[in-house]
Structure 1
Amino acid sequence: MTASAQAAPTGLDDEAVLLVGHGSRRERSNEQVRELASGMEDRLGVPVDVGFLELAAPSIAEAIAGLAPAVSRVTVVQLSLFAASHVKNDVPLAVERARSEHPDLTLHNGSHLGVHPAIVDLLDDRAAAVEDELEADRGAEEVAVVLCARGSSDPDANADVHKLARLLYEGRAFDRVEACFVGVTEPRLSGALHAVAKHRPDAIVVLPYMLGDGVLTQRVRDRTAEFDAEYPYVDVAAGDPLGTDPRLLDVLCDRWQAARTDSVEMSCDTCKYKVELDGYEADAGGARAMLRALTHQESHADRESVDDDPHAHDAPAKHVAVCTNQTCAADGAPAVLERLRQAARDSEACDARITRSSCLGRCGDGPMVAVYPDGVWYGGVDEHDADRIVSSHLDRERIVSDLVDQTL
């Protein structure tokens, strides 16, 4: 019996859980997150609230602020399939900010859903449902499976898709199981279908590895139908996404237990922010990722609704992060922050958002000011330098060379 199937631990009267979903303009997708939160609450016997990264309310910050007066401990559980930028950057940044805003609140940050036996079992059932249909309609015997995920710029996340595909293949009667992606990286769905079809199975089952029944899931279904119509010698059909299957609660409750006992395990040996992987050397160290996370959060705060594009932003040209952690604050960072904001407001050419940041890792060299996406970090900045940063760098794209601490 898994930890999640056992009775919830005692001593939970002063604890709550925050289930973090991505967020969608499609309310149906957001409601799926709330449904899973309700299931967790029933199973664990503790309050479970919902927060979203973007595109829906409440935000993570708002949700934590709502819980803070009522409990002393909040465990954040992430409803994300893989550990890419949201899991590694955006949620930790939001949690770290919440820690500074609610110093009396203990916050634990859990991991993503990842690779879990319950998910492999769920995928097997999703494939079997389509397989049964194909066998009933056309007598398919040799069945191949194509597992199609969203695709990421993080090689660690993409590798987990291939691992899931292999686990789904092992010990089962599928002719083969291949992994592919809707976008961002290769192989794409169309190429995977062509490659698998060359082996002449009777049927191919396409599994959209998505949580909800949204834009990407429909894209998988449409391309599957197009392939099926174009190549009549093999039957091809798409299955359902993960949805709100109760087995996801097994995974979420396990992730909750790991987080609240400080035993979260992440795949740091293959994380591009921790080690120099070929082709991703510039990402090692995490500073660029942190700045990207800041910009991503702020751009969503100022977005405009754009039809069905789930990642449309009305983002500023630049984002300026001012470290206001303890050391930089003591050296005058709050005054620098306010002067930068005032100078930006006074400028007719400046298109930038200026925000606080947690520690930038350059203690003793501050106050630190980082300008993104340029990757320019200014050090030892004082209040009077703020006008130069705005008038030269933000207005005219001219770096203030005597203030540069490092460039990324």
Structure 2
Amino acid sequence: MSSETAPTPSSLSNEAVLLVGHGSRREKSNEQVRTLAADLESRLGIPVDAAFLELASPAIDEAVAGLAGAVSRVSVVHLSLFAASHVKNDVPLAVKRARAEHPDLEIRNGAHLGVHPAILDLLDDRARAAERELGVDRADDEVAVVLCARGSSDPDANADVHKLARLLYEGRVFDDVRATFIGVTEPTLDETLHAVARERPDAVIVLPYMLGDGVLTGRIKDGAAEFDEEYPYVEAAPGEPLGTDPRLLDVLGDRWQEARTGSVEMSCDTCKYKVELDGYEADEGGARAMLRALTHSAAHADRENVDDDPHAHDAPSHHVAVCTNQTCAADGSPAVLERLRQAVRDSDACDARVTRTSCLDQCGDGPMVAVYPDGVWYGGVEEADADRIVSSHLDRERIVSDLVHDTLQ
């Protein structure tokens, strides 16, 4: 963080930071977030609390409530590597709810870690450590690096992995640096390693682009070990994840400064929720993004304890969102919400979660009810219509045609 832009002590009074991590069933991963929060607090000289999207406590709303009585401003900083749905949808939705709950508290939403020079330096050091383990030197030997990230359904996030790999290559003497993924998208780690082997380098360093040493990092290390056995003419070794390296504090400090000064820059030009991208047309639009975020939250709330898959979902078949904003509420949406919930509970065949949501931008046509993943919006819904929506649409997959206001497909 530049000394020219560093805040003065007087400007820091009554301010706090909320560091938001994903959350894990592995307490070691959650402790990493808390450690970084404590280290960042020492760096910045103001309170820094940790919060989690799921699977760990406190949740964002709980953490904000704890800070609300002590400070007047909270800057939310994301401990996320890239800007996918959690950064673009889930955290902003939680922040919006927190603002409504605490109108006197100023809450500013920051950005993810992203592509940053400190992270490039950290990855370079991880590669050097792996080189020493193998007894090779990139100055004398042909060394290839495979940078392996989790993978996302968001092309914007995946593109940043490729950008990071290219920046790691530029200015250094690696013979090759390639981006790859452990899941969700392509190229897969196995495919990339086999392709690199055809170039016959002396060594291949597999860098897990992960924060912690969790399940996915383990899979990446296993993939490197299997490759090493399969190709005896190529030395291969995995690097270590980012961990709690102090250089991450440089990144988090910059993201905090951006949040508190209102200078956060997101990649809106290539965001599938903001613009229509080929192959992702169904994701464009704020309402779609919000409802997908609600569905995602419901899926995580419902899923069972799955030790071998850190992101497996045990989601309901349908997610029903009922607008309870001012106009719809005045037209009776709270009664619709409760009747839908009761009808779902009474049904033997229905597998659905019913939640309230804020404005769906259809004021005057409500109460509005959106059913996902079908993308069907019902308008002018009355309490008496709730049983029909459940018994026909949710139980038997038959849309209630006379109530349809719009479809989002």
Q: TM-score range by the shorter chain?
A: over 0.9
Matches within 5 A, 1:71-90: 71-90=71-90
* Poorly superposed stretches of 4+, deviation over 4 Å: 3-9, 136-140
- Alignment: residue pair count: 408
Shift of 1:133: 2.6
Q: Tell me which residue corresponds to 2:264.
A: 264
The answer to whether residue 135 in structure 2 is matched with residue 135 in structure 1 is yes
Cα RMSD (Å) of the superposition? 1.9
Aligned letter for 1:135?
G
Unmatched runs of 5 consecutive residues or more in structure 1: none
Shift of 1:405: 1.0
Deviations 1:206-227 (A, max 9, x none): 1100000001111111110111
The answer to whether residue 369 in structure 2 is matched with residue 372 in structure 1 is no
Aligned letter for 1:77?
V
Normalising by structure 1, report the TM-score. 0.95
Q: Indicate the larger mover: 4-13 or 210-219.
A: 4-13
What is the DSSP-based 3-state SS (H/G/I as helix, E as strand, rest coil) of the residue aligned with 2:383? coil
Q: Tell me which residue corresponds to 2:174.
A: 174
Shift of 1:309: 2.4
Q: Tell me which residue corresponds to 1:104.
A: 104
Aligned letter for 1:290?
M
**Cα pair distance change 1:318/1:206, threshold 3 Å:** same
Q: Indicate the larger mover: 177-186 or 135-144.
A: 135-144
The answer to whether residue 278 in structure 2 is matched with residue 278 in structure 1 is yes
Q: Tell me which residue corresponds to 2:223.
A: 223
In 2, Cα distance between equivalents of 1:255 and 1:306: 33
Unmatched runs of 5 consecutive residues or more in structure 2: none
Aligned letter for 1:211?
L
Matches within 5 A, 1:9-408: 10-135=10-135, 141-408=141-408
Q: Confirm or deny: 8 A CA contact 2:126 2:207 kept in the other structure.
A: yes
What is the DSSP-based 3-state SS (H/G/I as helix, E as strand, rest coil) of the residue aligned with 2:355? strand
Aligned letter for 1:89?
N
Aligned letter for 2:282?
A
Shift of 1:300: 2.4
Shift of 1:8: 5.9
Q: Confirm or deny: 8 A CA contact 2:68 2:105 kept in the other structure.
A: yes
Deviations 1:287-319 (A, max 9, x none): 333212112212322333233322344432211
Q: Confirm or deny: 8 A CA contact 1:7 1:44 kept in the other structure.
A: no
Q: Confirm or deny: 8 A CA contact 1:366 1:381 kept in the other structure.
A: yes
Aligned letter for 1:321?
A
**Cα pair distance change 1:4/1:220, threshold 3 Å:** farther
In 2, Cα distance between equivalents of 1:80 and 1:353: 27
Once the two structures are aligned, what percentage of the paired residues are identical?
79
Shift of 1:352: 1.6
**Cα pair distance change 1:259/1:3, threshold 3 Å:** farther
What is the DSSP-based 3-state SS (H/G/I as helix, E as strand, rest coil) of the residue aligned with 2:266? coil
In 2, Cα distance between equivalents of 1:299 and 1:174: 42
Deviations 1:247-284 (A, max 9, x none): 10111111111111111100011111111111111111
Q: Confirm or deny: 8 A CA contact 1:210 1:241 kept in the other structure.
A: yes
In 1, Cα distance between equivalents of 2:87 and 2:185: 19
Q: Confirm or deny: 8 A CA contact 1:8 1:43 kept in the other structure.
A: no
What is the DSSP-based 3-state SS (H/G/I as helix, E as strand, rest coil) of the residue aligned with 1:384? helix
Q: Confirm or deny: 8 A CA contact 1:135 1:141 kept in the other structure.
A: no
In 2, Cα distance between equivalents of 1:256 and 1:3: 14
**Cα pair distance change 1:22/1:3, threshold 3 Å:** farther
Q: Confirm or deny: 8 A CA contact 1:4 1:251 kept in the other structure.
A: no
In 2, Cα distance between equivalents of 1:327 and 1:207: 52
In 2, Cα distance between equivalents of 1:49 and 1:139: 43
Aligned letter for 2:295?
T
In 2, Cα distance between equivalents of 1:4 and 1:108: 22
Aligned letter for 1:101?
E
What is the DSSP-based 3-state SS (H/G/I as helix, E as strand, rest coil) of the residue aligned with 1:50? strand
Shift of 1:57: 1.2
Normalising by structure 2, report the TM-score. 0.95
**Cα pair distance change 1:254/1:137, threshold 3 Å:** closer
Deviations 1:178-221 (A, max 9, x none): 11111111111111112222222211111100000001111111
**Cα pair distance change 1:222/1:384, threshold 3 Å:** same
Deviations 1:54-83 (A, max 9, x none): 111111121112212222221111000000
Shift of 1:135: 2.8
In 2, Cα distance between equivalents of 1:84 and 1:104: 30
